[in-house]
Chains A and B, each alone.
Chain A
Amino acid sequence: MKYQCYTCHGTVGQGGERGAGPKLAPNPFPWEGFRLQVRTPRQDMPAYRAAQLDDRELADIYAYVISIKPGPAAASVPLLKFD
Chain B
Amino acid sequence: MRAAQREMKSRTRAAAANGFDATPVSTARLSAELWSVLKNEKWCLAESRLLSWSARLWPATEHYNFLGHAGAAGVGYTAPAAVGAALANRDKGIVTAVIQPDGDLMYAPGILWTAAHHKIPILMLMHNNRAYHQEVMHLQKMAGLHNRRMDTARIGTAIEDPNIDYAKLASAQGVWSEGPITNPADIGAALGRAMAVVKRGEPALVDVVSQGR
- Interface residues of chain A, those whose CB is within 8 Å of chain B, are 2-4, 6-8, 10-20, 23, 41, 44-49, 52, 71-75, 77, 79-80, 82-83
- Interface residues of chain B, those whose CB is within 8 Å of chain A, are 9-10, 13-24, 26-29, 32-33, 35-36, 39, 50-53, 57-59, 131, 133-134, 136-137, 140-145, 147, 149-151, 153-154, 211-213
Q: Given A8-B137, A71-B21, are A20 and B151 also a contact pair (CB < 8 Å)?
A: no
- Set B19, B57, B140, B151: member contacting A2, Cβ < 8 A: B151
What is the chain A residue whose CB lies nearest that of B21?
A71
Whether B27 contacts A4 by the Cβ 8 Å rule is: no
Whether A71 contacts B20 by the Cβ 8 Å rule is: yes
Known: A14-B211, A17-B27. 13 other contacts (CB 8 A): A7-B136, A7-B212, A10-B213, A13-B18, A14-B26, A16-B27, A18-B134, A71-B18, A74-B17, A77-B32, A79-B36, A80-B16, A82-B39
Chain A hits for B28, CB < 8 A: 14
C-alpha spacing A69/B57, complex, angstroms: 24
Chain B hits for A4, CB < 8 A: 136, 140, 150-151, 153-154
Q: Given A7-B136, A46-B144, are A77 and B20 also a contact pair (CB < 8 Å)?
A: yes
C-alpha spacing A48/B29, complex, angstroms: 30
What is the chain A residue whose CB lies nearest that of B141?
A46
C-alpha spacing A73/B15, complex, angstroms: 10
Whether A44 contacts B212 by the Cβ 8 Å rule is: no
Chain A hits for B212, CB < 8 A: 6-8, 10, 16, 20
C-alpha spacing A57/B147, complex, angstroms: 18
How many cross-chain pairs have Cβ atoms below 8 Å apart between A and B? 126
Q: Given A48-B144, A71-B21, are A3 and B52 also a contact pair (CB < 8 Å)?
A: no
| Most chain B beta-carbon neighbours within 10 Å: one of A7, A12, A47, A77 | A7
C-alpha spacing A54/B141, complex, angstroms: 19
Whether A82 contacts B59 by the Cβ 8 Å rule is: yes
Whether A10 contacts B26 by the Cβ 8 Å rule is: yes
| Most chain B beta-carbon neighbours within 10 Å: one of A18, A20, A52, A79 | A79
Chain A hits for B26, CB < 8 A: 10, 14
- Set B17, B21, B36, B133: member contacting A7, Cβ < 8 A: B133
Chain B hits for A16, CB < 8 A: 27, 211-213
Chain B hits for A73, CB < 8 A: 14, 17
**Pairs across A and B, CB under 8 Å, 10 listed:** A4-B154, A7-B140, A13-B18, A16-B27, A18-B213, A46-B140, A46-B142, A79-B29, A80-B57, A82-B35
Measured between C-beta atoms, what is the minimum distance from B57 to chain A in Å? 5
What is the chain A residue whose CB lies nearest that of B129?
A7
Chain A hits for B144, CB < 8 A: 41, 45-48
Q: Given A16-B211, A71-B17, are A7 and B147 also a contact pair (CB < 8 Å)?
A: no
